[in-house]
Chains A and B, each alone.
Chain A
Amino acid sequence: MRSSRFSAATVLLTILIAGALEAGVLPKIDLPKDSPVAVIAADYGDSSESARGGALLLDLHASLTLRNSSQRRIRGITLLVTAQEVTPGGRGSVTVTSLDVAPFETFPVHIDLRLLRPLQASAGAPVQIGLDGVLFDDLSFYGPDKLSSRRSLTLNEWEARRDRKYFKALVADGGPELLRREILESMTHAADRPALDVQMVRGGRATNFDPEKEVQFAFLRLPDSPVEPVEGMARIAGNEARAPRLEVWNKSPRAIRYLEVGWILKDRGGRQFLAGSVPAELSLAPGAKSHILENATLKFPQRGGAPLSIEGMTGFVSSVEFADGSVWIPSRADLADPQLRRVISPSGEEQRLIQIYRKKGLAALVAELNKF
């Protein structure tokens, strides 16, 4: 009798805890009615919520299973993640690229999120998940595009196509062994690139005590680039860089509506690393010049070793979107430049192919390249 009462109480307690957890932790997933993807299953395995001092710490580990309910193959998807109660001005996103999901196939998306929210939190879902965009294999796009997902997914897709084409050509020209050599070289370069923490704030100002100075950009001119940087400056103070100003010239015969300039920083020890990109939405007629100005500050906190001290900068045009929607990205030949190769990470597709080689070997990599 006592044992059955105990069991009933345990079950009741479990139900209550599960209910409380569900009410407090689970995100609200909101997809448009005509969305080309549907949520088939959602697993929140190790998600939990616990009190931390005067706040609640929410650990959300969501594994969503989505189905392609459209008639086209999906190449990439961006999900918008918001926590209105905690960071009403900030947003997050989870993007999956290099996909090849056929109609009615399913694919997983993992979201691992941590949220520190007030104890007196409202009863609603703390996290909202929505769809920002889906890119198909014909480069058509669906979604509200609040985060400019269309552009970033398209650029990713072009990079993936460029690298797949390059690796396929290697196999065709020199067989799998040539492909192996290239993959191993790429892995070696990846290991040499410095890993840095970074903080960014818009409209910020230098906060450390080093004297601030204006430093002029040096430029790396890629032969095929439709845009050429003319001159540029940024303010540098110790491990902070801010307020880059650039002048660019459209040397192509086509109008340009968007471009990004990659920003390489050099520290006192001569190390170089890709700090970020300076994007600009503009209307740049053929032969015209334009200025780019971004009022934001980057800071590179120390992660072991000596503190970073920025001494020099190099800029290069990393992507261009023409007025007709087509894009330009650096070619593999451009990326073979020794300076760029030292600092630019491989594309997402190249990283994925390297992982296949690591886990499954050369034959599996060649088979993957032959898929599409």
Chain B
Amino acid sequence: MSLPPGIRHPDEAQLALLAGGELGRWERLRVNRHLSRCSACAQQVELMRDVAGDLRKLAAELPQNLNWDQLDEDMRGNIRVGLAAGEAIARFDKPGLRARPRAWGWNAAMVIACGIVVFVAAFWINLPEQQADHLLGALRRIRPGRIGMPVRGLDASTDGIVLAASGSSLEVTENGRTMSLLHPQSDAVTVSVSMRGSVGVRYVDADTGQVTTNKVYDAEQ
């Protein structure tokens, strides 16, 4: 039976879905109506139904004790091997893209290292000896494990009393609070420290001409 001109045949997918019984209701009515008038399409659908029947028979013939887990692992392994092979082939196809940046990285590192050596040498040669000693001392005091930790002053005992003598004052500091005895700034000031817990300064008072000694003590003195 030939179709009137202008009528289109259903595509192969629609025919396959009809053969499998999976086409929607309205589509199935429309395709069945077409099959009733088109023998070629009807014949193709019939062929598809036969192949599907053969496949079902073949599936029924699979071994009874098939290990699906092992099969799953084998499949995953094959997929991974395939992906790795794909990557290897991709690298093999573009050798220049990898090699170029690696060579540039080493060159850059060499240039930077040489620059640092030249800079440090020039800096060290031009630095006054005293400053160089100071810098060296500071570098020696750096401990990687202590980086980021606060630098403390003289560590106080449990009662926290620190005695100190500076150019113009004697101080006793306890829990962050300070009492200072002041003295004139002079080269003639003599500092004395007793390891039993006192610090003192002695000077001649310019106004009175008296020998004055200021001292600070901790509690145990």
With A94-B214, A147-B217, A294-B195 already in contact, the answer to whether A203 and B157 are too (CB < 8 A) is yes
Cα–Cα, bound, A184→B85 (Å): 96
Cα–Cα, bound, A111→B169 (Å): 12
| Chain B residues whose CB sits within 8 angstroms of the CB of A81 once the complex forms | 179, 181
**Contact segment of B16-24, B106-114, B137-145:** B137-145
B120 to chain A, nearest CB (A): 20
B129 to chain A, nearest CB (A): 9
Interface assignment of A256: CB less than 8 Å from any CB of chain B: no
With A200-B199, A201-B154, A277-B194 already in contact, the answer to whether A86 and B214 are too (CB < 8 A) is no
**Contact segment of B38-46, B58-66, B182-190:** B182-190
In the complex the two chains form, is A90's CB within 8 Å of B202's CB? no
Cα–Cα, bound, A306→B210 (Å): 35
Contact of A276 among B180, B192, B215, B217 (CB under 8 A): B192
Q: For chain A residues 251-306, which have a beta carbon within 8 Å of chain B?
A: 260, 263, 275-279, 294, 296-299, 303, 305-306
Range class of the A interface residue count: 35 or more
- The number of residues on chain B lying at the interface, defined by a beta carbon within 8 Å of a beta carbon of chain A, is 68
Contact of A91 among B142, B152, B178, B216 (CB under 8 A): B216
**Contact segment of B3-11, B70-78, B160-168:** B160-168
In the complex the two chains form, is A87's CB within 8 Å of B211's CB? no
Interface assignment of A161: CB less than 8 Å from any CB of chain B: no
A87 to chain B, nearest CB (A): 4
Cα–Cα, bound, A202→B134 (Å): 28
In the complex the two chains form, is A92's CB within 8 Å of B215's CB? yes
Interface assignment of B191: CB less than 8 Å from any CB of chain A: yes
In the complex the two chains form, is A355's CB within 8 Å of B170's CB? no
| Chain A residues whose CB sits within 8 angstroms of the CB of B199 once the complex forms | 198, 200
What 7 A-B pairs have minimum CB-CB distances, sorted nearest first? Answer: A276-B193, A90-B172, A203-B157, A348-B211, A89-B219, A294-B195, A112-B182
Residues in chain B within 8 A of chain A (CB atoms): 130, 133-134, 137, 140-143, 146, 152-159, 161-167, 169-170, 172-174, 177-183, 187-199, 202-205, 207-221
New A-B pairs, 10, CB < 8 Å, besides A147-B198, A200-B154, A209-B140:
A81-B179, A87-B161, A90-B172, A92-B214, A96-B213, A110-B205, A118-B177, A202-B161, A204-B157, A305-B130
